[in-house]
Amino acid sequence: MTAPKRNLIGLDLNALTEELTALGLEKFRAKQIWSWVYCYGARDFSAMSSLAKPVRETLAAHFSLDRPQVSLHQRSTDGTQKWLLKMADGHEVESVHIPEEDRGALCVSSQVGCLMTCRFCHTGTQRLVRNLDASEIVAQVMLARDALKDWPKPGQDKPAGRPCRKEESAPVRALTNIVMMGMGEPLYNYENVARALRIVMNGDGLAIGKRRITLSTCGVAPMIRRCGEELGVNLAISLHAVTDELRDQIVPLNRKYPIKELLQACRDYPGVSNARRITFEYVMLKGINDSMADAKQLVRLLRGIPAKINLIPFNPWPGAPFDCSDGAVIEKFGDFLNDAGYASPIRTPRGRDIMAACGQLKSASLKLSVAERAQVERLLAEKEAAQGLGA
């Protein structure tokens, strides 16, 4: 039996160099291959025309450039696309592409399922099955760029992630931004997310810079500083409630890291300034968190933090125990925040018709035995202890 080929996607430049030298290939090849893989999206070693044929053959004999399999692809009437992706072990996650006129964001998943159980979130009704590894996170970006036919052509286009303003006469890329807002809690899978984002940010490859990446967390306070120091990406906080009493109920992680601790971590977020504000996400739940008293308390809480507020109309899913606030209520809430000096756009739901909007993602690969579940929780506890996250 031949050994399975190692997938190159997800290796950083050091690891790639090591793999190549182990095969007797020269070190400098790593940069060439890197550029073929991440800048131009080559899927086949035979297309790497700057490499001699024997080198290409050696590579093909040992490595693959496999993408996840697409189990289902859907396109919304508003142009949003969703891919249900099957990983090598059969587990599935979703990624969503949200096009806008001069840019496009890919909403990337970090875990199969989620441990967080936020009450209004469809993914939260799904169990955590496992973390995605760096390769599976990067592969979501690769696959989207394949599907969108968004790879630059060697020698013709500007590198992939460069600013895409039309006046620069550069091609407008379909995928310019990344939001870590898919399935899972990225700060509970920090190592893999960080490894993946470093690859995505590398200027010689996918080149999607840190200012074009937003990581959203429901509030893993002790990991927030590290994320800022090491990655420097934009931060979004799923706040959703202004009292611990309510937040304990709808975002249960609040019992571990209450609002005060979370907001202190935001105040301390490296690089935060009026030019680089933290986004606070606030899902509008009818009769639950949408009163004017809530709006006032929100302004009080955020005082002193360079912030903008994203009001998200609740996106329904089958059996959800909430309704979306009325449009007029959301407007009034937003006006109050605006008057208090906060940019507070109301997020237009995208891809609702294909269940691709915020909080609607849920894959079918949910079956987890009690023993597996216990194992996952043990692993997470060990990880937390190792990262000093103990309660």
Residues recognised as catalytic: 94, 358
Residue closer to ligand SAH by CB (options 65, 84) is: 84
| Residue 110 near residue 185, CB atoms below 8 Å | yes
Tell me how far, at minimum, the Cβ of 99 lies from ligand SAH, in Å: 18
Residue with tokens 């099955």: 129
Pattern 271-310, ligand SAH, x by CB under 6 A: ----------x-x---------------------------
What Å distances lie between residue 220 and 329, 357, 371, CA to CA?
A: 30, 23, 26
Tell me how far, at minimum, the Cβ of 354 lies from ligand SAH, in Å: 15
Name the segment binding ligand SAH (CB under 6 A); options: 18-26, 51-59, 214-222, 300-308: 214-222
Interacting residues with ligand SAH between 325 and 384 (CB under 6 A): 358-359
- The identity of residue 109, as a single letter, is S
Tell me how far, at minimum, the Cβ of 39 lies from ligand SAH, in Å: 28
Tell me how far, at minimum, the Cβ of 321 lies from ligand SAH, in Å: 11
List the one residue from 80, 176, 214, 217 that touches ligand SAH (CB under 6 A): 217
List the one residue from 19, 150, 185, 290 that touches ligand SAH (CB under 6 A): 185
Beta strands in 196-303, from DSSP E residues, in sequence order:
213-217, 234-238, 278-284
Name the segment binding ligand SAH (CB under 6 A); options: 27-35, 115-123, 154-162, 296-304: 115-123
Number of residues that bind ligand SAH (CB under 6 A): 17
* Neighbour-count burial of 169, counting CB atoms closer than 10 A to its CB (0-12 exposed, 13-18 middle, 19+ buried): exposed
Please give the backbone phi and psi of residue 206, each rounded to the nearest 5 degrees, phi first: -65, -35
**In Å, how far from its chain's centre is CA 214?**
7
Question: What is the longest distance spanned by two Cα atoms in the chain?
Answer: 70
End-to-end CA separation in angstroms for the chain: 48
Q: Of 217, 202, 73, nearest to 134 (Cα)?
A: 202
Query: Which residues make up the interface to ligand SAH (CB under 6 A)?
Result: 116, 118, 120-121, 181, 185, 216-218, 238, 281, 283, 312, 314-315, 358-359
